[in-house]
Amino acid sequence: PFFTTKPPGEGTGLGLAVVHGIMKKLGGGVSVESRPGAGSTFTLLFPALNAPAPPSAAPPRSSQNGKGELILVVDDEEPVIFLTKRVLTRLGYRSETFTDPVAALQVLEARADEFSAVITDLSMPKMMGFDLASRILSIRRDLPVILTSGYIRAEDQAAARELGITQLVQKPNTVDELSSALSRAIHPPSGARQTQPR
């Protein structure tokens, strides 16, 4: 687990670590240029594809690909938002992203029926992920919520079950892990949809 000096409710500071982990899994990297008083520029280095995929390559599993469903993404770390949006687009989903959970809730209250699922971080300033999930489910009980965190504890799993949330995804995660979680959340096996809270 990571150590953070940030107080509860002000994020984990895992944003760059998560991005680095994702880029490493993709075979890429992250470079940074920083000048005092001028800020920092982070460059994501994706591996180049030297040749087209062979014609015999198996296509992506369609059962785990989106069909244009709209996903609400909430995370206080801009780099995580950026990468998640790219991954969702690659998987065939549309997304609306927010670094402010309060703003995300306002959009959800106005357009709850447009969204197929929500992906939210557990530890954010202004509102913790469980508080956000609880408010989301009070607006639309059947909306699947996927919780993500750099460190998922047994207490987090228990709290998720209490809310009826079945999908918790560890950060950093792979494209396949996120794809599988979305597939299970949006198209669960019969009788396995998010359970009602106790």
**Strand blocks (E) in the chain:** 29-35, 39-45, 70-74, 94-98, 117-121, 145-149, 167-170
DSSP for 27-79, please give it.
T-EEEEEEETTTEEEEEEEPPP--SPPPTTSPPP-GGGS-SS-EEEEE-S-HH
Is residue 140 domain-resident?
A: yes
pLDDT score of 51: 61
Q: Is residue 134 part of a domain?
A: yes
Give the model confidence (pLDDT) of 162-191 as tens digits: 998 989 998 888 889 999 999 999 988 765
pLDDT tens, position by position, 26-80: 778 888 888 888 888 888 877 776 666 555 444 444 446 889 999 999 999 999 9
Give, in degrees to the nearest 5, the angle at Cα 9 between 5 and 13: 45
The CATH number for 155's domain is 3.40.50.2300
Q: Residue 105 belongs to what domain range?
A: 67-186
In a domain, 143, yes or no: yes
Q: Among residues 74, 141, 78, which one has the least CA distance to residue 103?
A: 74
Stretch (H or E) spanning 138 = helix 129-139
- pLDDT tens track for 84-104: 999 999 999 999 999 999 999
Q: What is the pLDDT of residues 113-154, one digit of tens each?
A: 999 999 999 988 888 989 999 999 999 999 999 999 988 888
What domain count does the chain have? Answer: 1
